[in-house]
Amino acid sequence: MQRCSLLLLTFVLLLSCAPESGLYSYRLENSAFPHPEREAGFSRNGVFYPAETHYRDPRVAVQIPKAYRKGRRVDLLVHFHGWNNHIDRCIGQFELDIQLEASGRNMLLIVPEGPRNAPDSFYGKLCEPGGFRRFLDELLDSLQNDGLIQRAEAGSIILSGHSGAYVVIANILRQGGCTEKIREVFLFDGLYALEDDYLNWLLAYPGRFSHIYTQNGGTMDNSLAFMSRCDSLGLPYVHANTADLETMPESRILMLYSDLSHSAVIAERQNLLKLLKRL
């Protein structure tokens, strides 16, 4: 009996031990691209972006932090890059892996490839009804098959995005298929439109929304209008400066002004880390 108990304990410890940390890459059928709406490429302001170089990359990057320990469910920080970026650059540019590691949170960083080096907010299959659920199901199955997670079941999900990523996040909140698991939305200078999708989610679900806006990023007027909408809907929020992020009171909605530039709001003062520490 003692030997059986010891074997069982060893098995449990093996299941819960940390997989090898580092950056992994998967090519998924349910990734954003390729997609029929971009098979002919895309044009903006007289510049053509061919599908071959901008809309045919089905990869998703997965960062496993050193602090990660396997459990019955896997918590996820899913980050979407903005315009003129790609997964090979944005993780290091915005120190996404470093900030998640420093937070000590037991979650994986997931970064799907979007429009690669293109001024475009369309995330292909991830903008379709149920697209986000199909993407996560396939990814988690792949991670489980490779022994990187214990079970292919998502726990809490954080959606994070910079700039033009507001479109894919809005679509996921409206129709992505995993809305009940989304606990947080971090939007970095990206509230350009589709405010109703964010407000409807806040009215229907208990999740929290944090938006950092800037003077010259094009989001200030919409951010102020969003707060007026919250007032009219009876949604309380905290409006403050990011400098006070670590000490401000709890609130489901944080509307945060930053004096940084549009591309500096994630990493320069480690705002992602500060938001993760508030969880």
In-domain check, residue 94? yes
In-domain check, residue 27? yes
Per the structure, the complete domain to which residue 125 belongs is given by 19-209
pLDDT along the chain (279 residues), means of 10: 43 54 96 98 98 98 95 97 97 98 97 98 98 98 97 97 98 95 98 98 97 97 98 97 92 97 97 96
Q: How far apart are CA 81 and CA 50, in angstroms?
A: 19
pLDDT at 13: 43
Nearest residue to 123 (alpha-carbon basis) of 61, 55, 209, 77: 55
pLDDT at 172: 98
Nearest residue to 205 (alpha-carbon basis) of 178, 226, 232: 178
Provide the terminal-to-terminal Cα distance of the chain, rounded to the nearest Å: 42
Spatial contact of 109 and 81, defined as CB atoms under 8 Å apart:
no
In-domain check, residue 240? no
In-domain check, residue 223? no
Spatial contact of 266 and 109, defined as CB atoms under 8 Å apart:
no
- Three-state DSSP at 49 gives strand
Spatial contact of 139 and 110, defined as CB atoms under 8 Å apart:
yes
162 Cβ neighbours under 8 A, 6+ residues apart: 79, 80, 81, 82, 85, 90, 94, 188, 189, 190, 265, 266
In-domain check, residue 115? yes
Q: How far apart are CA 222 and CA 274, in angstroms?
A: 24
In-domain check, residue 246? no
pLDDT at 166: 98
pLDDT at 258: 97
**CATH number, domain with residue 195:** 3.40.50
Q: How far apart are CA 135 and CA 143, in angstroms?
A: 12
Q: How far apart are CA 123 and CA 112, in angstroms?
A: 9
Q: How far apart are CA 226 and CA 213, in angstroms?
A: 12
pLDDT at 19: 73
Q: How far apart are CA 145 and CA 162, in angstroms?
A: 31
In-domain check, residue 165? yes
Q: How many domains does the chain have?
A: 1
pLDDT at 18: 61
In-domain check, residue 202? yes
